Structure 1
Amino acid sequence: MLSCEMRLAGSGLTSDPTYKSHYGLCIWPHQKYPWHAVCPQDMSDQIRRKKKLSHSPRNNSAGSRNTDNNPVSLHPAIRKFLQAGGFSGELPPELEQTYLRPLIQQAMDVALYSHYEEEVRPCIDLIDHLRSLGLEKDLSLPAIAVIGDQSSGKSSVLEALSGVSLPRGTGIVTRCPLELKLKNVKEKDVWTGFITYNNHRQELTDPSEVEQEIRIAQDIIAGKGVGISHELISLQIEASNVPDLTLIDLPGIARVAVGKQPLNIGDQIKQLIKSFIEKQETINLVVVPCNVDIATTEALKMAQEVDPSGERTVGILTKPDLVDKGTEKTVVEIIQNQVVELKKGYIVVKCRGQQDINEKLTLRRALEKEKVFFEEHQHFRFLIDEGKASIPCLAKRLTSELVDHIKKWLPKFEKELSDRIYTITQELKYYGEGVPDTENEKITFLIQKINTFGQHVVSLALGEEPETFIQKERCYSKVRKEFQQWKVYLNHALHQFQCDLKNNVCAYERMYRGRELPGFTNYKTFEAIIKQQVCRLEQPAMLKLKNITEIVHESFMAIALHNFNGVPNLLKASKMKMEELKKKQERHAVSQLRIQFKLEDIVYSQDSNYSDNLELKATEEYREQTPDQNSLTSKMSTSKSKEESIQEMSTHVDTYYKIMSDRLADQVPLIIRYYMMQEFASNLQVQMLELLQNRQQIEEYLEEEKTIAEKRRTLKNKLDRLSKAQVHLLDLA
């Protein structure tokens, strides 16, 4: 037996799709000639004996003839196998059909099934498992979408692959996306089906039920008539005669609205189709009849729009029996990728036609009829050897394409899965864990909520708020900018004051000068000028307080919303506390600022401080004088003129104003920061803790908003699905 296996491997037959089982998935042993009872030498001897008994014409090649005395074409691999067994000549047809081919078929199926279990099945099982977790709700999974113009033969192809009859007719038959999940099982004569839509799941016990149940589902979802819907119908079939595939059948593309169809029915269908085929995870199966101009096919055009490179598109040519004589060459050129190139190429199939359906031709018999059609067709027979014709070749090809697609998709999916898990975890942190059930747990929960809130507002007041609450920039950064603007305003006021000072001094000299002789500085004039400037600065300081109060209040509100989101009554209570405290703290701050400006009405500075500033000012003025002015001053009399008196007054006023301005630049921000940040936060923390004293209202405070609870539940379910998927991937690794 080992020797025979080696000969088969050497013949190249194990890699050829022509004589494989329908889907290359199951083993069908030949009963009359069991594999283990035969060896190549025995078989060669039997062939020779059979040859002597045969009266059919002979030739020198390893060929054969059928019962009608017509030559039977042997596959090159079979011929090579015979030659390896020491036989060269003609093979009697009955021996070739009943003995040799089943023997080779069984050996091929053993090798294929082993490869399938090692390579294919894990990939298919992975996607099936992810679907069973409901992961399609969160992430796109690899699938095959079937598209085509109306009457292109889509339904026939799907029927041949699935082994069940699907809705047929004229016009729009597929009115909802139909997800066809095919799963191969080892047990023979087993068939199980489930149809799911709108949270309704129904078991099907016989393939004959499928067509009617799909029609019922479409009527429920899209309404009776010709309307379409984006709602998905899922049909799952488990059987021994189906490949492992997931196909999505989409409505046929309508060009013109007919009957009661909406005028924009064509656009509706195209939008529906595009929502599926534009996904990078989807392989697009474009069905085109052989007897139409492929360049004008709307389905192929749509596939090229979303997949210009053709990386995800497979062309399926149907109805080869309807091709006009003389045009077969064009069909072959299309299949050979010489007309409209697709990287994944084309496959031609012959499915049941309307006459076959009327004659109640079974799907199994249709497969046999298809095989005969291609084997005997003058132009298409070589396509069988190349694996480009027949439903079995299509099933194998699609399974292979899907598995390759899954392998390429997997690394990207793993990263996307990790990113989604992180995002949802962060989202769940925002919504919190939810309100517990028992009274003691609720009290503890409320204490934790209020304590966390208090810590956050205190941290914010100190300029250390958590990153979660930062909206573009920190609250303290905004407040600091306001303080800097206050300093800028004071500097601008000082500059303006210096420009207007000379005129003001002259005016005050006229108003307040008393019995002093010229040359003596009038202190009352000095005080009057200073007090007037202090009065002008008070209102801008109050405005600055108001701006900062709003900034802090807005930041505290954001913290409350974050901590008490989902418990509206507790959030409302915190807002009321904040509003009351804001007004109270603002009143205290206003009062303190007014006191500060009343103090500034008292003209005072330490002698040494004032003298130092005065000397510095005098030095600056001396340096600014020109040499001519210095020479003139030295020659003047020691008696002071009126102008000198005004200049001296200006110097004193300017010096003191600078001292006062520097004092206010620090003092106003200190007052605002103390009352509107530190004390506001501290008092708010205490007042929120006072809510715990009223035990009767705890239940009311923790009454959760329904939408928040639902959102948290949805996120938890999503996180659970994604986490299970991640664990499953890790197990596979």
Structure 2
Amino acid sequence: MENLIPVINRLQEVFLTVGAEVIHLPQIVVVGSQSSGKSSVLESMVGRDFLPRGSGVVTRRPLVLQLVNVPPPGERTLSENGIKTEEWGTFLHCKNQVFTDFDEIRQEIEKETERCTGANKGISAEPIHLKIFSPHVLSLTLVDLPGVTKVPVGDQPDDIEQQVREMILSYISNPNCLILSITAANTDMATSEALKLARDVDPEGRRTLAVVTKLDLMDAGTDAMDVLLGRVIPVKLGIIGVVNRSQHDINTQKSMAQAMQDEQSFLQRHYPSLASRSGSRFLARTLSRLLMHHIRDCLPELKTRVTVLTAQYQGLLGSCGQPVQDQSATMLQIVTKFATEYCSTIEGTARHIETSELCGGARMCYIFHETFGRTLESIDPLSGLTTLDVLTAIRNATGPRPALFIPEISFELLVKRQIKRLEEPSLRCVELVHEELQRIIQHCSSYSTQELLRFPKLHESIVEVVTGLLRKRLPITNEMVHNLVAIELAYINTKHPDFTDAALVSASVNSAQGETLQDSGRRWKSDRAAEEKTSEEKVKSSGSAYSSPTRSPAVNLLDTPVPVSRRLTAREQRDCEVIQRLIKSYFLIVRKSIQDSVPKTVMHFLVNHVKEHLQSELVGQLYKLPLLQELLTESPDTALQRREAASMLEALQKASHIISEIRETQLW
């Protein structure tokens, strides 16, 4: 199981090359406040002074530290690494340089930090990757983060505290990381910022290991026994106490070996019952053991994650397409594919069937038979036509002489007025189908022809060509629909086999009224005689009152207002009802014809024409050698996406190969 940590280190190096964080690798993250002793703890694990020191925020970039245990120089072969020195270090940002002087490692960390953050004590999330090879270290991977700060110093930004917190949380929120929470013993553990942050993401403490530093600096008469035993802050992975080197020890260059010996002596004197479970050496062994077990537990999920991501990035790389080699062939392929997909969407045979809404031919069918059909059926044949309108038309058609029969011209005048109302919904039907044909362009671009996303200029040109073709066919289709209505208006076919015979309609109306024309005449004469008798009686009465007749003033008949409404005679009622029934009968015939003819006209003059000529129109306007280079200029986003997908896919394939090398027997 000791080989698991080097495996994770190899995986970490693989994914660092692509700068991605899609895989949460098991690692140990070191968290603590400023001056809590983080640097001293890390240096004690390495056994060397190599970290920058000073006041304020010293660690200003994450430091990914990989410790690699190697055999001593005498047991090492040249073929293993080619290095004869006992200990050395390498940085990812300068791979070909080997650092055998740990003072130079410190200087390189400082220089690389300032290169990215400047000299104003600001921080950066870009990590520094350091690998240290030594026979005196246990294989470990740790991430040292900037210390939690409260007050900005120097030129630090005002939100430096928030920046540090966000950086720490971005690391420790990874469920596959172990949190090494460092707190100084001479501070209140209950207010430890490191433990607070750890508790936010790991409330049960299942992946938190607490380290209490500076045990030798506690006030006289006090100790950290309750803290180390977990009575103050319970942590599942345990609490380990250590003794740091003092600044005097560092200034006098006290050796690490002597510092660890003094640490053990202090622990034996003050914490004899915990001495075997405390100190820097025990901390290193504990971290190595915890990390190995943690890697073992995370490995199945890690394998699954790599497999899933490999499939996803293979699909992403496929959608980006291959770089263009033959422009002519690529152009023909894209144009043909677009035209085919466009026509298939209309026919309902497209590969990508929309499930959330009607699209293409299905929507056109809905427009023809639901939207257009229901609109026509909702038009009342007699809507907007009053009885007075009908009566006026009949009178105007008779001229100066009273007509014995209903004039046919009045019927034609009124029925044409009603038929004209069918034109507007018919033209609206054309407009709706035209809009759907326009919408299919975007549908095909989004779902079927992903190549168009690679070439934005070609996409724009295809949209322009198809839109132009639709725009050219729209007035032609509208004109034909207009002609359909005009044809119906041009000749009122009263001999149509479905048209009701006028004589039958008249007879039906008479029968419904319950009287014949003669009965109506007799009744009119009787009413007239009664009126004349009443008039004579009024005249006689008037003559007895006056001895001589009086002449009434002259009356101009043209000035007499025509009554707006009056009670119609039986004949007028009959004539109006006959005309209304005939209008309704003929209107329904024409409406049925228009309802059938308009969809056919739209399909022939617009939809089918576009289907038949789309590809030839695209080829004719776009397949021109001077345009190929410009139209097939790839989108910068697509090119970048392809490179990133290819790099990530390569990293995932390497990771899969590394993980596959782990045998089941190595896990136990």
TM-score range, shorter chain: 0.7 to 0.9
Secondary structure, aligned partner of 1:722 = helix
Deviation of 1:284 after TM superposition, in Å, equals 1.8
Aligned to 2:89: 193
Q: Distance in 2 between matches of 1:283 and 1:322?
A: 27
CA shift for structure 1 position 157:
0.8
Confirm or deny: 8 A CA contact 1:501 1:650 kept in the other structure: no
Cα distance per residue 1:660-681 (max 9 Å; x no partner): 3333334323333444433213
Which of the numbers 108, 111, 125 marks the counterpart of 1:213? Answer: 108
- Pairs within 5 Å for 1:693-704: 694-704=624-634
**Letter paired with 2:436:** I
| Structure 2 residue corresponding to 1:596, chosen from 458, 470, 484 | 484
The change in CA–CA distance for 1:651 and 1:727 in structure 2 (over 3 A counts) is farther
Using the TM superposition, give the Cα deviation of residue 235 of structure 1 relative to its aligned residue in structure 2, in angstroms. 0.9
Name the structure 1 match of 2:377. 491
Alpha carbons 1:284, 1:312 under 8 Å: kept: yes
The alpha-carbon deviation at position 148 of structure 1 amounts to 0.8
2:9/2:141 contact within 8 Å kept:
no
Which residue of structure 2 lines up, in the alignment, with residue 155 of structure 1? Answer: 39
CA distance in 2, matches of 1:279, 1:428: 27
Q: State how many pairs are aligned.
A: 594
What amino acid does structure 1 have at the position aligned with 2:612?
S
Query: In 2 relative to 1, CA 434–512 (structure 1 residues): closer, same or farther, beyond 3 Å?
Result: farther
Q: Greater shift after overlay, 148-157 or 501-510?
A: 501-510
Deviation at 1:526, TM superposition (A): 2.8
| Change beyond 3 A, Cα 1:344–1:520 | farther
Shift of 1:688: 2.2
Structure 1 partner of 2:514: 633
- Cα 1:553–1:149 change in 2 (3 A) is same
State the 1:585 CA deviation: 1.6
> 2:500 touches 2:582 (CA, 8 Å); kept in 1?
no
Deviation at 1:209, TM superposition (A): 2.0
Listed one character per residue, the Cα deviations across residues 150-200 of structure 1 (whole Å, up to 9, x for unaligned) are 110011111112333211111111111111122222445642311234x88
Aligned to 1:125: 7
Which of 29, 33, 48 aligns to 1:145? It is: 29
For the pair 1:358 / 2:251, whether they are aligned, the reply is yes
Specify which of 142, 150, 164 is matched with residue 255 of structure 1: 150
SS of the aligned residue for 2:587 comes to helix
Partner of residue 62, structure 1:
none
- 1:176 partnered with 2:61: yes
Query: Quick check: 1:546 aligned with 2:437?
Result: no
CA distance in 2, matches of 1:632, 1:527: 25
8 Å CA contact retained: 1:450, 1:688 = yes
Query: Is the CA contact (8 Å cut-off) linking 2:184 and 2:212 kept in structure 1?
Result: yes
Tell me the distance in 2 between the aligned counterparts of 1:568 and 1:349: 62
CA–CA distance in structure 1, aligned partners of residues 463 and 192 of structure 2: 64
| Native 8 Å contact 2:60 2:146 kept in 1 | yes
Q: Tell me which structure has the larger Cα radius of gyration.
A: 2
Deviates more, 1:123-132 or 1:242-251: 123-132
Amino acid at match of 1:633: G
Q: Distance in 2 between matches of 1:187 and 1:668?
A: 92
Superposition deviation, residue 492 in structure 1: 2.9
* Cα distance per residue 1:422-468 (max 9 Å; x no partner): 443443343322201xxxx3333332222212211111222333328
1:391 pairs with one of 262, 280, 298: 280
Aligned letter for 2:333? Answer: Q
Using CA pairs under 8 Å that are at least 6 residues apart, name the structure with larger relative contact order, 1 or 2. Answer: 2
Q: Does 1:347 align with 2:240?
A: yes
- Which residue, out of 510, 516, 534, partners 2:419? 534
Query: How many Å separate the matches in 2 of 1:515 and 1:688?
Result: 66
2:327 and 2:353 map into 1 onto residues whose CA distance is 25
Task: Find the partner of 1:382 among 246, 270, 273.
Answer: 273
What amino acid does structure 2 have at the position aligned with 1:523? E
Q: State the one-letter code of the partner of 1:125.
A: V
Q: Which moved more, 1:582-591 or 1:500-509?
A: 500-509
Q: What one-letter code is carried by the residue in structure 1 that aligns with 2:349?
A: E
CA distance in 2, matches of 1:662, 1:382: 102
Relative distance call for 1:170 and 1:585 in structure 2 (3 A) is same
Contact preservation (8 Å) 1:311, 1:342 = yes
Shift of 1:349: 1.6
Aligned partners of 1:182 and 1:244 also within 8 Å: yes
Q: Distance in 1 between matches of 2:166 and 2:39?
A: 20
Equivalent AA in structure 1 for residue 481 of structure 2 = L
TM-score by length of 2: 0.80
- TM-score, with structure 1 as normaliser: 0.73
Instruction: Say whether the 8 Å CA contact 2:186–2:215 is kept in structure 1.
Output: yes
Whole-angstrom CA distance in 2 between matches of 1:270 and 1:184? 32
Q: 1:706-721 maps to which residues of 2 (within 5 A)?
A: 706-721=636-651
- Further displaced range: 224-233 or 127-136: 127-136
Q: State the alpha-carbon separation in 2 of the partners of residues 200 and 501 from structure 1.
A: 95
Partner of 2:231: 338
Secondary structure of the corresponding residue to residue 439 of structure 2: helix
> Contact 1:253/1:298 (CA < 8 Å) preserved in 2?
yes
Q: Of residues 652, 658, 667 in structure 2, which corresponds to 1:722?
A: 652
Q: 1:632 to 1:660 in 2, by over 3 A?
A: closer
Show the counterpart of 1:370: 263
**TM-aligned CA distance change 1:603 to 1:259, over 3 Å:** same
2:574 aligned to which of 644, 659, 666: 644
1:290 maps to amino acid: A
Does structure 2 conserve the Cα–Cα contact (< 8 Å) formed by 1:317 and 1:346?
yes
Cα shift readout 1:694-723 (whole Å, capped 9, x = no counterpart): 445444443333442222222222222223
Map 1:308-319; keep pairs closer than 5 Å: 308-319=203-214
Could you tell me how far 1:292 is from its partner in structure 2? 1.0
Q: Distance in 2 between matches of 1:595 and 1:136?
A: 67
Tell me, yes or no, if structure 1 residue 432 matches structure 2 residue 300.
no
- In 2 relative to 1, CA 641–565 (structure 1 residues): closer, same or farther, beyond 3 Å? same
Superimposed CA distance per residue, residues 124-152 of structure 1 (whole angstroms, 9 cap, x where no aligned partner): 41452353244661413222211111110
1:500–1:687: structure 2 CA closer, same or farther, 3 Å change rule? same
Q: Distance in 1 between matches of 2:198 and 2:391?
A: 89
What is the letter of the counterpart of residue 298 of structure 2?
W
Flag as ranges the 4+ runs of structure 1 deviating above 6 A: 468-471, 515-519, 629-632, 634-640
Q: CA deviation at 1:204?
A: 1.7
TM-superposed deviation, 1:297:
1.4
Deviations 1:591-618 (A, max 9, x none): 2212222223243498444459x99x99
- Report the equivalent of 2:470: 582
What is the rounded CA distance, in whole Å, between the counterparts of 1:410 and 1:511 in structure 2? 97
CA–CA distance in structure 1, aligned partners of residues 169 and 121 of structure 2: 20
How many angstroms apart in 1 are the aligned matches of 2:300 and 2:601? 59
1:465-503 per-residue CA deviation (whole Å, 9 max, x = no partner) reads 3328888653344444544322232233237x4474545
Q: Which amino acid aligns with 1:488?
A: R
| Amino acid of the structure 2 residue aligned with 1:686 | S
Partner of 1:681: 611
1:235-250 alignment, distance < 5 Å? 235-250=130-145
Q: In 2, distance between residues paired with 1:605 and 1:340?
A: 101
- Residue 532 of structure 2 corresponds to none
Aligned CA RMSD, in angstroms, stands at 3.4
Alpha-carbon offset, residue 581 of structure 1: 1.1
TM-aligned CA deviation for residue 311 of structure 1: 2.4
- Compare 513-522 and 254-263 and name the one that shifted more: 513-522
| 8 Å contact kept, 2:14–2:651 | no
Query: Where does residue 455 of structure 2 map in the other structure?
Result: 567
Identical columns (%): 26
Given that 1:421 and 1:719 are in contact with CA atoms closer than 8 Å, whether structure 2 keeps it comes out as yes
Counterpart amino acid of residue 27 in structure 2? A
